[in-house]
Structure 1
Amino acid sequence: MKGDKLYHKALNEANAENPDLALVFDLLDRASKQNNSKATYALGTWYLFGKHISKDDKKAFEMLSIAAAQFHPEACFDLAKCYEEGTGSKKDLRLAFKNYQKASLLGDKQSIYEVGRCYYYGIGTEVDRELADMWLAVASENGIEN
């Protein structure tokens, strides 16, 4: 994948005893500009949680949207949370549900539970307790119970 060398350099630097966070950010930014979804997601989480840089919900939402469009499972999950909570964008429960579904189909286990929760309570979709029970059972089989 394009940008993987830069992304792995960033990981190595981030895991160093005294990491140069400005260098890590630069490497992630350069990898992201090469459409590396892992780097874009990493930067999105930095902005989302204010980790190593100033918290910026709008920038986080933008970065997570890009990584989710590149089928990054965790980005889809975090984007769904942003839509559900109105973080960095307007609250949109339909898009939250859609992104939880996408994340679950891409292998994000927590999203399996979230899809079941959405069906159970009618969050972004119609209430469907039968579907909710199926999704929640699969989540439980994967060790996810909330």
Structure 2
Amino acid sequence: MFKFIMVWFLMLLNLEANTDEALKAFKNKDYATAFKLYEKSALNGDAKAQSALSYLCANGLGTKQNSAKSIEWLEKSANNGNATAQYDLGMFYLTGNHVQKDNKKAFELLSASSNQNNHDAQYNLALMYYNGSGTDLNISKSAELLDSAANGGHVIAQQNVGRVYMHLLNFDKAAEWFEKSAAAGDESSYYALAEIYTQVEKFKEAKIWAQKAIKSGNKEAELLYKKYELEKY
């Protein structure tokens, strides 16, 4: 028994060494070496290596481009519990990209990824619950997942939560969420914040965000700036 454990442990160390070396080779753009090393680990069931191999096959790096082989490795990785692979494959089934569109399979895969706290999966799963796509319509579950994704830093989810609060006329909470998405570099949030602060007559703050929005090329922000004569503040 002890001998078996030691053999398994040494095999795991070897897999980790292979993937570490593969990542180095990938970063150095030595894709042929990266492919060989990832393949060795992937054939031994390493989910991360399987996902990496899927990427290399999809893009023809270190091997001939092969979409079918890419999907095959992605499925293996997803079945072995890799959250990123589950998300990617789920989105393929949701959009019908590279595979036949299947909302139920998409829902299953995105649920598995979401359960591992993948915020992209949580956001898209929230939309599926909201639209009743691949599952029964469930607004409360949609809101729960949207909130989870937003709290995890998903920028579009943060925007959507902000918009919900705007519709509820809770401008303080709306501003809180849009400031998070703005801090992440989302330029569309600049205008939303300018709009919110004009609504609550905080014109100095509105001016700051309107100017940011104008610099990013937002024409509506220019109109808002003139309408409220923000140059005065």
TM-score normalised by L of structure 1: 0.86
State the Cα distance separating 1:20 from its structure 2 match.
1.6
CA distance in 1, matches of 2:47, 2:154: 23
Give, in whole Å, the separation in 1 of the partners of 2:111 and 2:165: 23
1:46 to 2:92 alignment: yes
1:10 correspondence with 2:54: yes
Equivalent residue number for residue 29 of structure 1? 75
SS of equivalent to 1:10: helix
How many residue pairs match? The answer is 142
Percent identity over the alignment is: 27
Please point out which of 73, 83, 105 is paired with 2:119: 73
Q: Please report how far the alpha carbon of residue 100 of structure 1 lies from its aligned counterpart in structure 2 after TM superposition.
A: 1.4
| Alpha-carbon separation, structure 2, partners of 1:4 and 1:60 | 20
Runs of 4+ in 1 over 6 A off after TM superposition: none
1:1-146 matches, within 5 Å, as 3-16=47-60, 19-121=65-167, 128-144=170-186, 145=188
The offset of 1:47, in angstroms, is: 0.3
Task: Give the root-mean-square deviation of aligned CA atoms.
Answer: 2.0
How big is the shift at 1:37?
Answer: 0.4
Give the greater-gyration-radius structure (CA).
2
Letter aligned with residue 161 of structure 2: V
Distance 1:120 1:84, change over 3 A: farther
Gaps of 5+ in 2: 1-15, 17-45, 190-233
Alpha-carbon distance, 1:63 to partner = 0.8
Q: Cα deviations across residues 37-91 of structure 1 (Å, max 9, x unaligned)?
A: 0111111000000001111111111111110001111111111111122221122
50-59 or 135-144: which moved more?
135-144
37-46 or 99-108, larger mean C-alpha shift? 99-108
Whether the 8 Å contact between 1:97 and 1:118 is mirrored in structure 2 is: no
Runs of 5+ consecutive residues of structure 1 not aligned to the other structure: none
TM-score when normalising by structure 2: 0.56
Q: Which residue identity is paired with 1:132? A: A
Q: Which whole-Å CA distance do the structure 1 matches of 2:121 and 2:81 have between them?
A: 14
> Which secondary structure does the structure 2 equivalent of 1:91 belong to?
coil
